[in-house]
Amino acid sequence: MGGRTEFLDLHFDDLDMAAMLDALRARRADAPFVYVVTPNVDHIVRLSKEGQGSPLRRAYADAGWCLCDSRILARLAAWRGVRLPVVPGSDLTARLIHDTLEPGDRLCLIGGGEEDIAALAALRPDIVIVQHIPPLGLDNNAAARAAAARFAAEASARFTLLAVGSPQQEQVAAEMCAMSNAAGTALCVGASLDFVTGRQHRAPRWMQRASLEWLHRLARNPARLWRRYLVEGPCIFALAWRWKHR
C-alpha cells in the first residue's frame, strides 16, 4: 500500500490527504478488510508504556494505513530528519463523509450518540447508516468489544467509523481484522464526528498551521484535557530525544 517511514517505533505511510482519499475511493464494500489508524502525540505516549509485543502495539502494526494526525509529531520528526505527511483524522473523516461516500453506500458507525444518525443523515441523505453504541469502559470489557466488532463485520458497510476513543477503537479494529466475514474499510476516528456534526468547532486555521490546535481544545475543555496536554503530552519530547540518540 505504498512506502512507510519509521518514527518512534511506528511505521507511518508516506501518503498525504489527496493520496489517502484516492486510496479510500478505490475501496469497495466487498474488499478484504483493512483499517486506518491516525496516531497523534497522545497515542504515541500511551504506546511508549506498552511492551513491544502488546496487543495494542500489534493493533497499530496490523493497520492497513497508519497516518500522522499531529503537526507537532511531524515537526519533531522533521527536526530529526524524518518526513511525515500530516493527515488530520478529523479532516479525513469529513472528506470521507462529504466527498468519498457515494449514493447508496452503506456506512456503519460504532460509538457516537443517538443524535449522530440524524446529523449524518442530514449531511448525506443518499446513504444508508447503521449504528451500534457500546457501553462505556470498552477497553476493559472484552464481551462488549467483541459485540461491537461483530456488529460492524455483519453490517456489510463500505466504510465503518470507529468512534469510541483510543485505544478502544484500535482494539475493535484489530478484532474485526481476525473475523472471516469482515470486509470493507474501518477508520479509527475518535471524536472526529463532533466536528463533522458541528457539536464542536476546530481551531482557527492559523492555530492549526502553527501546531496550536491542542491549545484551542485545552481552552475549551480544561477540566477534561489538562492532564493530557500539560502532563502526559510533553513526554513526547523525551521520547523523540531518546529515539534520536538510540
Which residues does 151 contact at the CB level (< 8 Å), separation at least 6? Answer: 108, 110, 132
Cell of 110: 460504532
Please give the model's pTM, rounded to 2 decimal places.
0.92
pLDDT (tens digit per residue) in 188-241: 999 899 888 878 777 788 888 887 887 878 787 888 877 887 888 889 999 998
Instruction: Give 163 or 194, the one with higher predicted confidence.
Output: 163
Is 80 exceeded by the pLDDT of residue 11? yes
Q: Where are the domains of the chain?
A: 4-245
- Judged against a pLDDT cut of 90, whether residue 6 lies above it is answered with yes
1 pLDDT above the threshold of 60: no
Position 2 scores a pLDDT of 63
Bond prior to 167 in cis (omega within 30° of 0): yes
Residues with Cβ within 8 Å of residue 24, at least 6 apart in sequence: 96, 100, 159, 185
